[in-house]
Every structure is written in structure tokens, then in C-alpha cells.
Chain A
Amino acid sequence: MTTLTDAMGETPLETRAVAPAPLAPTRPLYWSLRRELWEYRSLWIAPIIAAGVALFGFSLSAIHLREHRFNAMALDPARRALVMTLPYDFAAMAVIFTGVIVGAFYCLGALHNERRDRSILFWKSLPVSDLTTVAAKAIVPLVVLPLIVLAVVLATLVVMLALSTVILIAGGMDPATTWTHVPFARMPLVAAYGVAVLALWYAPIWGWLLLVGGWARRAPFLWAVLPPLALCVVERIAFNTSHVGSLLLYRLGGYTDAFTIRMHGKLPAEALPGLDPLAFVSTPGLWVGLAFAAAFLAAAVWLRRYREPV
């Protein structure tokens, strides 16, 4: 083995003379986000697969597109637009729904897996604060995932539109029937609005899942889901009421306040729901939810800092 004096006799490393370039304060956050996308590739792969499945279904149905279109043209104009738009709605909803599921599982694992595989010791050996780390993990379901989902939804709609145009032209029909009846101009707007509404409305769920994932030593899914259900059961048995249950259901489905959907019998009267941002931002449920989300995230930061790392 080389003796100590040999090693000490060497000139100090040349890099020492160079002052470290100051890092912009946002750089740790930026790289923390990059690392989340490296680790959780399902964040973008799953929505793309969902889009692929939707497109596959659409191409199967396109075999009979000509007959369908004939039948649709016989309906009154409002029904016609609705029938023609439904496949596009379904495809968008499939991708968005996948995004919600992926977001939930991402949040459960984001602060859990780094403890389980002990890599938290590596992350904590670098000059990145717990606040930055948790902030990055919260930004993923609040901003990054919605943007991914939106991009995939829009790309899917474009592909479907191209597909239907090609098939109709090949079948000797006028593709303009699609272009005029399906409200393509409004679709991106509605999709962007819907994705943003879901991300914000579900913010307390993301926060709760992140917190429980960071706290639970094992089975974070059970810890996240069973206690709220247990509360419902206890309330039901003790008081024969179901306030907790309705609160939970409201949190899962209450985002519909953000839309106006006029019904026509069992079907919606319009192909796309109306947007009601004013009603959404004036719903106390939104702000209460965001306050809960902030509290859960603050607790998650505290927990990552105070708890023994492994």
C-alpha cells in the first residue's frame, strides 16, 4: 500500500484553485424533477400505453366507420355531433384516468421507495434540502404529470382525427363531416382545463399519499386507504351517520362543479361539457383541499427531516 507521505507529497488537486461556479437556486429543484422522471418512467409510459389502447380500439371501430357515419348523419344535428365526438371523449378520458392512477401510485412510492432501498442516504449526502426534495415530488402530480397527460391527450386526438379522415377519404366519403361536427377547436381547451381541475382538486390526495408513503415502513397502500375507510365504518356504527364517507366521495368526485353538463335524457346534451371556472374557484372544497394538501406536504417535509433515514 502506498505510504501516507507519498500521497501527501503530491500536489493538491488542480481543481481546488477553481472557485465553484455558483448554482442557481432552482438547479437542485430542476435536477430533482429530472430524477423523478428517470426513476418513475411509468409517469409518461403509462399514459402513452393508455393512448395506444384507445387508438387500437378506435382503429377497430374504424372498420365500420362508413356505416356508422351513414347512420349518424340520419340523426338530428345535436345528437349527430355527440355520437361523433364520443370516441374522442372516451380516448381522452382513458388517458386522464390512467394519469390519475399513475399519479396515485407515484405519490405512494415517491417518499417510500427511497427509504426501502436505503438510497435516501445517497440523496441526503448531497446538498439538496428536504424541502426541495418534497417540493419536487409534489410538483410531479401537480404540474409535470398533468402536462404529460395533456400532451398525450392532444397527440391522441390528432392521430384519431387523421385516422378517421384517411378512412373516410379511402371509403369515398367526405371527411368534412368529422371536421364540422366534432368540436376540435374547443377540445384542447376542455382537456387542458379538465386536467388542471383534476390536479388541483386531487391535491390533498397527492399530499396524503406522499405523506403516508414517507411514513409507513411497509404496505403504504393499506395505510393510505384503510384508515379513512375505518373512520367511515366507525362513524356508521357509532352514530349511524356517514359524513366521513360523503366527504371522501366528494373529494373523489366533487370536481364536477368545475363543469356544467346539460343533460338530454340519459345522455349529455352537448358533446363537450361547459366550463365553469368561476364556480370551481368559488367552491370552498377546492381551497379546503389545497389547505389540506399544504399541511400534508409540510408534514412530509418534517418527517423526511426528523425521522432517522433508514
Chain B
Amino acid sequence: MACIEARGLRKAFGTTVALDGVDLTIEEGRIVGLIGPNGAGKSTALGAILGLIPYQGELKVLGRDPWKARDQLMTDVCFIADVAVLPRWMRVSQALDYVAGVHPRFDRAKAEAFLAKTVIRRTSKVRELSKGMVTQLHLALIMAIDAKLLVLDEPTLGLDLLYRKQFYDSLLNDYFDRSRTILVTTHQVEEVQDILTDLMFIDAGRIVLSCGMDDFAVRYHEVMVAPEHLAAARALGPIHERQVFGRGILLFDGPTQAQLAQFGEVRTPSIADLFVAVMGAGAPQAQGAAA
């Protein structure tokens, strides 16, 4: 059974179409990055998957209809919307008590063990914690829940480098195993590049690219082409071309590494470069900050 299965998923807010017939299948045990520009429909897609908003079309998460069965679904699904949603009045001990009280799959000892590695005190209120510490607390709560699907919506927004690295390290080392699935949206694509197993680009409410990271390395190549080879390289139909220090960098979808090696140094592009190539036709600078 696929973890998430969507067919013709649609959602409109008034006249604005946020999701325009999304088809996607996410198998169990994957770490999927859903990447897209602002307003592409990422949050709407996550909202639908989490049963937070009604939608049209077909959607099954862990075999359930998330809109009809949100509360049951939430025993198997966790999500971190972003760093600022833990109630600010709450004490750390109260957060532990509450989640332990309402969640049948919460292992309090695990959460305590994770918190013991931080400087967070049980008596502190959330409002007294730094942004990074709030994220640690939320992560401690989430990681102690034996869930099948974890959804992360911009989980590291506004955190400093140390917390961001620690966040993903913890997820990989202490949480992820092959039976869990993680779906993450982020603009910080470079920090998830090495942990994803699958990549999806979403734009204007549609999935415009979907590929496994193994395929990614086989399909996409970036070549720094010397000026004398430029014409020959262009003949192979690069999907994107940019200039760095006067040399052309061409991004190809399809041609093998062997075919391209004659033009110059070949490497696997970063997700950010591919993102710019796929999305940035009209606005090449739009995602420059993420690259």
C-alpha cells in the first residue's frame, strides 16, 4: 500500500486555484522533498494530506481519507507546521503530559531522553525558549511518537545553521527507519539534498517533476563547457544554461555522462540548480537565494 496516493487532487480558494489536479504516489519508507516556489501549492497539498482542508479529487493517506478521518489519521501521522506553533504559554512538562495524555503511540521516556541531550528545562515555558529550542522540543515530542508518516512544512525556517544541521541529523539517526515515511517541504534545498530519496517539484498547483534521487543522478548532468564546445553541447538540447565566470554551464536531462564528458567537467547538479532550470524559465532570479 502506498503511504500517500492522490489522483486529480484539486483545491481552489475562491477563484485562485491552489491545486490543479495533482497526481502523486509516495511509497512507504521514502523521504520525499516537495519543492516549489512560494504560492505553488505546497502548503495546500500538505493541508489536504493532513486533513486540515477539504479538497476535490481522490486522496488516500495510509489508506484513509484524511478529510473524513483526521483524528484517527493523526495517531499514525505527525507534523511540524513550522517552528512557531507550539503554544507559547505551555510549560515543557505540560507539553509532555498533554501529548502523553492524548496520543496512544507516544513514548514519554524517549521524549525525555531526547530532551536530556538539550539544555531545555522542564519548568520553562515555550515563550522563554529560543526558536531553536522550541524546534528541539517539538522534535522531541514528534520523535517519541511511533508514527508511520511525518510531515514537515518548512521545519527549519529561521533557525541558525547549527540547529538546522542537528535537526536533520536527529531525524536520520534517531527517527527514520525504512518503514517510516517523511514528507518535507523547504526552501533550504541544499540541506535536504543528501537525505532525500525522492524529489518532487510543484508549480502552479501541479507536480512538474517527480523522480527518485537515484534516477536524479543518472538523468541530470551539469557540464561546464569550454567556449569552443558550446555549439556542439547546445545541440544535445540542454534544459538550462547559465554563465559563470564567462563559461557556460549547461544542464542536461537525458544524455549520459559519457556523452557529455567530451565537453568538459561533468557533475550531478544540485537540486537548487535543477529547480532554477525547471521553474525559472520566466524568473531566473526568483529562487537565487536558495541556490
Q: Chain A interface (Cβ within 8 Å of chain B)?
A: 1-4, 6-8, 10, 12-13, 15-16, 20-23, 27-28, 30-32, 34-35, 38-39, 114, 117-122, 124-129, 132, 306, 308-309
Contact = CB atoms under 8 A, between A and B. Distances in A.
A34 B172 contact: no
A309 B71 contact: no
Contacts of B107: 15
A128 to B, nearest CB: 5
Nearest to B77: A125
Contacts of A4: 31, 172, 194-195, 197
Nearest to B196: A4
Nearest to A31: B101
Interface string B198-241: 00000000000000000000000000000000000000000000
A39 B89 contact: yes
A20 B172 contact: no
A34 B96 CA distance: 13
Interface string B108-138: 0010000000000000000000000000001
Contacts of B70: 124, 129
Contact of B103 (A10, A16, A118, A126): A126
Given A23-B104, A28-B102, A128-B71, A7 B179 contact: no
Nearest to A128: B102
A1 to B, nearest CB: 6
Interface stretch (B32-40, B47-55, B264-272): B47-55
A181 B173 CA distance: 74
B47 A117 contact: no
Interface residues of B, number: 49
B102 A1 contact: no
A254 to B, nearest CB: 36
Contacts, number: 117
B173 A2 contact: yes
18 contacts: A1-B168, A8-B176, A8-B178, A13-B177, A20-B146, A27-B101, A35-B94, A117-B87, A119-B88, A120-B85, A122-B87, A122-B138, A124-B70, A126-B74, A126-B102, A127-B75, A306-B54, A308-B47
Nearest to B151: A125
Contact of A1 (B80, B87, B195): B195
Residue among A3, A16, A124 with most chain B CB within 10 A: A124
Interface in B66-89: 70-75, 78-81, 84-89
Contacts of A309: 47, 52
A23 B99 CA distance: 12
B85 A122 contact: yes
Interface string B153-195: 0000000000001001100110011110000000000000011
Contacts of A1: 165, 168-169, 172, 194-195
B169 A118 contact: no
B17 interface: no
B103 A308 contact: no
A251 to B, nearest CB: 32
B176 A7 contact: yes
A56 B75 CA distance: 51
B204 to A, nearest CB: 20
A31 B104 CA distance: 13
B84 A118 contact: yes
A274 B175 CA distance: 65
Contacts of B73: 127
B85 A126 contact: no
A132 to B, nearest CB: 8
B98 interface: yes
A128 B86 CA distance: 16
B98 A34 contact: yes
B99 A126 contact: yes
A308 B71 CA distance: 16
Interface string B89-100: 111001001110
